Structure 1
Amino acid sequence: MNDAIPPTTTPRHATDAAARPRALVPWRLLALFYDLWPVLALWMLLAAGFTLGYTFLGNHPVRENIAPFSALQWLLWLGCWVVTGMYATLSWRLGGQTLGMRPWRLRLRTRDGSTPTRNRLWLRYAVGTLSLLAGGLGFWWAWLDRDRLTWHDRASGTQLVRVPKA
């Protein structure tokens, strides 16, 4: 009879779960909420410029608003999207993080370790926008993805990592 104690092994699913990175979805959402505030300030500045131009250059009465669904209103929305993209891509390019990513120690990096290009960052921003418009489905996808990446992470070859405390 063999009285030897069998070697302890951990189940395969336990080691796979430990090796998988965290999805970071709650931190991503907190960072988005935090980034909403500086972006709203940028939108207000842009809207003030549009309103002043509409009123004084267009010779409209002071109390007249830009008509809903007009070409000028769509141009304002496009301008808001571009200004937000400039805020995000410049922040990612210069420091690897936006203001909202700093409190939760999130940093953007490429998956291969190189510096992200402008095109790659704008692709990330565009796919992230589509993800939000789809009810955040691209963000929630990180819970299912084997590498815990979102749609915009996969499309742009970038990823968010949580930096350890200094």
Structure 2
Amino acid sequence: MTALVYDLLIVLAIMMVANMLGLLVTGGRLLDEQQHLRAWWFPLFEAACVGGYFVASWRRGGQTIGMRPWRIRLTTATGDTPSWPQLLVRLGVAAAPWLLLGLTQWVGLRLALWAVLVAWIVWYIPALIDPRRRAVHDIVAGTEIRSPP
């Protein structure tokens, strides 16, 4: 979890660059007068940028920048580098709780954020009982986090 905090800084930088590109492409009109998103493609672009960071990092060396200080690495059960499909499945399942933010218009932002937090807690509960300490996204993708001996 601490590695995710480190990676949050990288994600913020990626989001700033993605927002700058979005503003350049739309001529500074990413939002309309009522502050509604005008570019339907922009959330998908942001997700692709952030997801690309994680998948590329895991594929190239098995580590994100946040994982390096802790010397942990993403591998398969046999210690190999995960395949592209495994990485995409892991990313999709790990990011699935973010979809709960879609509830915001019905339940409000505060409740939607709580729903995301509860979903992530549920996602990590299996790590407490799994002998290899795998969360839901690792179980589904067939991957695991390894630390040095």
Q: Say whether the 8 Å CA contact 1:140–1:150 is kept in structure 2.
A: yes
Number of paired residues? 128
Structure 2: 5+ residue stretches without partners:
101-115
What RMSD over aligned residues (CA atoms) do the two structures have, in Å?
2.0
Shift of 1:115: 2.7
User: Residue deviations 1:56-87, cap 9 Å, x none?
Assistant: 6xxx5xxxx51345351x52222121111111
TM-score when normalising by structure 2: 0.75
Q: Structure 1 CA distance, aligned partners of 2:134 and 2:97?
A: 13
Task: State the match for 2:111 in structure 1.
Answer: none
Kindly indicate whether residue 127 of structure 2 is the aligned counterpart of residue 160 of structure 1: no
Q: Structure 2 CA distance, aligned partners of 1:41 and 1:138?
A: 26
Moved more, 78-87 or 136-145: 136-145
Shift of 1:140: 3.4
1:36 to 8, 14, 23: 8
1:70 to 12, 37, 40: 37
Moved more, 137-146 or 117-126: 137-146
TM-score when normalising by structure 1: 0.68
| Amino acid of the structure 1 residue aligned with 2:142 | G
Task: State the match for 1:46 in structure 2.
Answer: 18
**Structure of greater relative contact order (alpha carbons < 8 Å, 6+ residues apart):** 1
Percent identity reads 35
What are the equivalent positions in structure 2 for 1:38-117 lying under 5 Å apart?
38-55=10-27, 66-67=31-32, 68-72=35-39, 74-117=40-83
